[in-house]
Structure 1
Amino acid sequence: MINNDRPGFIYFPGCRASAYLDMMQQCQLPPRCIIMLQNPLAQQGLNAAAAHPLIDQFYNPNIDVAAYCKQHQIPLIYCNATSINAAELATVLLAQPTRCWLFSGGGIVKKTLLDHDLEFIHVHPGQLPEVRGSTCFYYSLLHDHSLAATAFMLAQELDSGPVLYGQHFTINVPPPLISSDFIDYVVDPFIRAQTLKPLWQQWPSEVLTLSRQTFSKAPSDRPCFVMHPVLRALAMKRTANTYVPTKPTGVFCHD
């Protein structure tokens, strides 16, 4: 399943990709190459992340991709595709010697791309296989105040595939600093990057799967997708109410 080459990085501009690249920069472990997609909506999230008072504790949302590639002498390939499933991107991917790629957004990977002789690493913002869906991050915070992410190899079925590594987190942030922008553009990318980090450092060695010392309870027996704004607000309020002023401020890997 895992080959010895360091994965390539499909860079879909936005907070998640920035957090991943910042993690690689800190580890001094660049990907084999970067394919840069287009995302017309990226700047909104990046601006929101950069404006948050605590952003320096998490990641650099303004990392210069071209300068990074030049520094580490790795190829930077520009692609006009705005979707992970674009035929143009598939052509670019298949032209590279790399067969394993880190996925950072651009839609749900479809069967047409997965049918190629390629592997994709994805980091899901929840504990797999128990907690699935695009909004499980909020549902877990609301349901049992758990926070987790899982790195796995993409498969045909949504949020399925071999789990490579997982991690739980605790959050302790003053209530005035908790907002949907903070959750979406700071915390979500950060916990994904921190979960990816041990895997990236030890590649291609497989690391331990999600520790069961901490366990997220499934909010539902179905994947968590659409969430009403009122429930989203309740999830943030519950998170704010757990703040302990005497403890360090931030988001931390669970011991």
Structure 2
Amino acid sequence: MSKLHTLTADDVEYCDNKNRGSYTGLLQTFNKNLGDHVMTVLHDEGLYRHLRFKNPKNGFYWFDLITWPGNLTITGDMGTYTFARTEDMFTFFTGQINTGYWAEKLRAGASGGRSEVKNYDVDLCKRWIFQDFWEYSRDMDTDVTLEWWNQLKIYILGEYSIADLSSTESAIDTLRDLDMPKRARRHYSDVYEHADGWEQYDWHFELCLASIVAGIRTYNASKATSDE
């Protein structure tokens, strides 16, 4: 049995969850919790493969990779996703993890299921609100800037803010309902156009992508050793 490959910082450089927390980022979580997984080949016949990756001592974070012509499925403890793109999907998941492009190849929903693996993030929303205020308020009079900032501080960005930012829809409604200074009265009327920037890819989805990359590398290395 071959041990599952670990990943490097370069592999997750463009992932949304690479810095989820000091000790819970994508790379740290993957290498810590899947570092003792080993590969068991359940079936290997051309493009028809069934590989299992599991820690021999427990079932945490186990996963299977299953391929058939034009398709790849990952299933297990972290969720189930099926992708379709090329005849041999093991040649598709190469290089750094490309969450946005790979999500387009999901076999579910509109846009390849991409919208189904993105989640609203309140911190991203607040960051956008602050950056937007900083960018546009610099060209306004001091009294307008102060009035605008006080509204944001009281309702949204302050320690005891009372606004509902629990979802994309509620955040849009909150911003549209702010009692804005006259010169900035319609500033948030088209705020929905920026809502995509308040989303990031699902944690478990990116963990599955990391598992696919590592699993394919493990399989390819094992095949190369066998061929030699």
Q: Rg larger in 1 or in 2?
A: 2
Structure with the larger helix share: 2
- TM-score bracket, normalised by the shorter chain, equals under 0.3
TM (normalized to structure 2)?
0.26
TM (normalized to structure 1)?
0.24
